[in-house]
Amino acid sequence: MEPLRVGMISFAHDGHASSYATCLGQIPGVELVAIADDDEARGRKYAERFSTVYYAAYHDLLARDDIAAVIICSENARHREMVAAAAEAGKHILCEKPLTTTRADGEAMIAACRAHGVKLQIAFPMRFSPPTIALREAVRGGAIGTPLMVKATNPGRMPPGWFSDPALAGGGATMDHTVHVADLLRWIFGHEIVSVYAEIDARLHPGLPTDDIGLMLLGLDGGLSASLDASWSRAKTWPIWGGLTMEVIGEGGVLALDAFNQNVQLFDDDAGHYSLVPYTGGGDPALVRAFIDAVRDDTPPPVTGEDGLRALEVALCAYGHEPVSCPDALLG
Amino acid sequence: MTNIAVVGAGTMGTMHAASCRALPGATLAWVVDEDPERAASLAAPTTARATADLAEALADPALDAVILAVPTPSHRALTERAAAAGKHVFCEKPIALTLDDARAMTAACERAGVRFMVGHVVRFFPEYARIGALLDAGSVGEVGVVRASRVNAYPFVGRGWYSDFAWSGGPILDMMIHDLDTLRWYFGEIARVYARGLSYTPHRAAVDYALAIVRFANGVVAHVETSWAHSGFRTSIEIAGSGGIIRHASDETTSLRLEQTAPAAPVRGVNVPHSPLAESPYQTELRHFLDRIADGGPILTGGDEATRSLAAALAVLESVRTGRAIPFTDGWPMLESQGLVSDIPVTV
């Protein structure tokens, strides 16, 4: 059988991009055949690491007829341009989260993919994390009766580089970390988020040009309420990058998820603090596998552009940019 | 020596009676309870006299102070009676169910020239006091975002007053008020709150729960959780600043754990945390009261502080009830209702 050839555009989101590249390498019949990155040093580094071809211009990668699909991990604000170009070139697309930085861009990306008949999947790996799947099955299986309230957190250390440049990221912590939980809430409970109250601020990193604190209370249609802490509040000495937790209070009990609690403890004298070292691959392998399956089988991707847009809208509403419905949100 | 009457021989009254017995400066002189058997049973191992009539205890010229450990709706009347009799008053939290009652209690004690303290005991828990000292020392730089949590099982006590929302105000007035009070102590006055929860839904008869986002005037943002939906009592607090994180979780700092092969007798009454300390926080709290009676110095959790913490809890309740954010001015919320609203709104 002819291998499915995949290209990757930009390693700006390098942690996730290199994980996806590794995952591609584990799927039989799939080849990572090219990496495009306008940061030449970064692009060449990863092209060498994954034994593939480097392009400075992503249009040259898209011009290759043998490539059926691309994974785009550029800065958030550049997703639109690259997704539109990839769609025009007829490539199926796995796009890093968040979808983009504005609603108009998101709608344009979805429209471009539809017009050119290509699949657009958004990289929400938490949907593929085994503990998260188990939480969803327990909730849907009635383990705690009717869900009533949710307390969620997705805090992290502040990532380096463009993540705190509002022009490229579209915001700070709130843009970076709201969409995962927003997507999980929609996916687990099957309801849309219809109201957002947010307190947003920058207090933890002196001189930061964007927010590092994002606390939200969300209302879902059907009556469920959820809080979300999306802050870049993990100290440099915190033992792990951050995490994602979700405690669901139901009529008949409580379910508590700590999705990144599968670690061993490492006490390394040179580090100056102890570390938590994960012993699982999280959701990335299944995420990438699902995208490849959708391309090969010509089935709809399990996480769509619309899913990405709904989650983005929550972050935009938290910033006061987009009225999903911000009842009387008093923005900090 | 301070002669003390414990009024109310329930869970908290029993706790305070034990503190009186443990502290060298205190004597348990009276136990008052409308149920004479309960009063007698708590007084029995001591030299205290038991009575069902508060007037009898208040008429004792040797009595110096009362500890009110009775349902909240009785706080005002009993405080006013004790103050009028010239007795210092220690009153369990929450101070009252309305701001009017709270202010009247404070004023009554001022008028009578007696000391007045409210049992916001969390300020006397050594872990929360240590956190306060770390904050004072600037240990984590500028504080940004805070998470405080206090969860418990739904209270099913003998006479059931905690689970009667109109008497207790549910977990927001019973539990969240502790964290609102402690965070006010750490960070000063509140600027606004927004909250969501179950206190104004029919669910509250079996599960009550709330989440609040609190913005302080100094800029700190806090997430506060309260619950009567879990299986047992635990607390946690995390304070993230520009230079690091302070955190404490009660279930991660257990110093002694007992696991029995046969199930023990079921626990009765309200679940109150126990930790093996040289001095219990309830003793520390009572010692503070006795010391301030003696030296006339400022009481950490006096009437005004307790009234402000009540106001904060009422603001959380009003936000849950109305779906609106509640702004504060000079530490006081702009409330539609100056006291507990206990009716569940009828939704069309």
Does the beta-carbon distance from A197 to B213 stay under 8 Å?
yes
Does the beta-carbon distance from B198 to A149 stay under 8 Å?
yes
Q: What is the pLDDT of residue B276?
A: 80
From chain B residues 153-192, the ones with a CB under 8 A of any chain A CB are: 192
Mean pLDDT of chain A: 95
DSSP assignment of A101-153 equals SSHHHHHHHHHHHHHTT--EEEE-GGGG-HHHHHHHHHHHTTTTSSEEEEEEE
Q: Which residues of A touch B211 (CB under 8 A)?
A: 149, 151, 217, 225, 227
Strand partners for A69: A6, A92
Query: Residue A287 falls within a domain, yes or no?
Result: no
Q: What is the pLDDT of residue A238?
A: 96
Task: Please check the confidence at residue A293 and state whether its pLDDT lies above 80.
Answer: yes
Task: Please check the confidence at residue A163 and state whether its pLDDT lies above 80.
Answer: yes
Q: What is the pLDDT of residue A331?
A: 36
ipTM for the assembly: 0.92
| Amino acid symbol at A76 | N
Strand partners for B2: B26
Parallel, antiparallel, or unpaired: how do β-strands A245-250 and A253-258 relate? antiparallel
Compare all CA atoms of chain B with the CA of A158 and give the residue at the minimum distance: B242
Mean pLDDT of chain B: 94
- The CATH code of the domain that includes B169 is 3.30.360.10
Q: How far apart are CA A8 and CA A294, in angstroms?
A: 17
Q: How far apart are CA A44 and CA A66, in angstroms?
A: 21
Q: What is the pLDDT of residue B156?
A: 75
Q: How far apart are CA B135 and CA B185, in angstroms?
A: 11
- The CATH code of the domain that includes A55 is 3.40.50.720
Residues A34, A167, single domain; the answer is no
| CA A180 centroid distance within chain | 6
Residues A87, A180, single domain; the answer is no
From chain A residues 172-231, the ones with a CB under 8 A of any chain B CB are: 197, 199, 201, 203-206, 212-213, 215-217, 219, 225, 227, 229, 231
Task: Select the more confidently predicted residue: A82 or A326.
Answer: A82
Q: What is the pLDDT of residue B83?
A: 98
Q: What is the pLDDT of residue A324?
A: 45
Task: Please check the confidence at residue A325 and state whether its pLDDT lies above 70.
Answer: no
- Which residue range(s) make up the domain with B204? 123-279+303-333
Domain boundary among B102, B120, B138: B120
Q: What is the pLDDT of residue B271?
A: 56
A216-275 pLDDT per residue, tens: 999 999 999 999 999 999 999 999 999 999 999 999 999 999 999 999 999 999 888 899
Compare all CA atoms of chain B with the CA of A207 and give the residue at the minimum distance: B242
- The CATH code of the domain that includes A153 is 3.30.360.10
Q: What percent of chain B has pLDDT over 70?
A: 94
- The answer, as to whether pTM is greater than 0.80, is yes
> Reduced to 3 states, what is the DSSP secondary structure of residue B261?
coil
Q: At what angle do helices B36-43 and B11-22 cross, to 10 degrees?
A: 30
Q: What are phi and psi of B112, to 5 degrees?
A: -85, -10
A194-208 pLDDT per residue, tens: 999 999 999 999 999
> Reduced to 3 states, what is the DSSP secondary structure of residue B293?
helix
Query: Residue B203 falls within a domain, yes or no?
Result: yes
Please report which confidence band the pLDDT of residue B266 belongs to, taking 50, 70 and 90 as the band edges. low
Q: What is the pLDDT of residue A330?
A: 34
| CA B294 centroid distance within chain | 23
Mean pLDDT confidence for A306-327 = 80
How far, CA to CA in Å, does A166 sit from each of A77, A92, A96, A182, B198?
Answer: 9, 28, 17, 21, 37
A164-178 pLDDT per residue, tens: 999 999 999 999 999
- Which residue range(s) make up the domain with A113? 4-118
Query: Residue B293 falls within a domain, yes or no?
Result: no
Residues A201, A63, single domain; the answer is no
Which sign does the torsion angle of CA A314, A315, A317, A323 carry?
Answer: negative
- The CATH code of the domain that includes B81 is 3.40.50.720
Q: Give yes or no for A59 touching B (CB within 8 A).
A: no
| CA A302 centroid distance within chain | 14
Residues A253, A136, single domain; the answer is yes
Q: What is the pLDDT of residue A323?
A: 45
How far, CA to CA in Å, does B58 sit from each of A39, B4, B69, B112, B293?
Answer: 82, 10, 16, 14, 18
Q: What is the pLDDT of residue A329?
A: 41
Domain boundary among A71, A98, A118: A118
First to last CA, chain A: 57
Around Cβ B88, how many Cβ atoms within 10 Å?
24
Residues B103, B179, single domain; the answer is no
- B179 with B250: CB under 8 angstroms? no
Please report which confidence band the pLDDT of residue B257 belongs to, taking 50, 70 and 90 as the band edges. confident
- Number of Cβ pairs closer than 8 Å across A and B? 103
The count of structural domains within chain B is 2
Residue linked to tokens 């109250």: A197
Task: Please check the confidence at residue B287 and state whether its pLDDT lies above 70.
Answer: yes
Task: Please check the confidence at residue B269 and state whether its pLDDT lies above 70.
Answer: no
> Reduced to 3 states, what is the DSSP secondary structure of residue A88?
helix
Does the beta-carbon distance from A329 to B325 stay under 8 Å?
yes
Domain boundary among A86, A118, A150: A118
Please report which confidence band the pLDDT of residue A321 belongs to, taking 50, 70 and 90 as the band edges. low
Residue linked to tokens 């004597």: B27
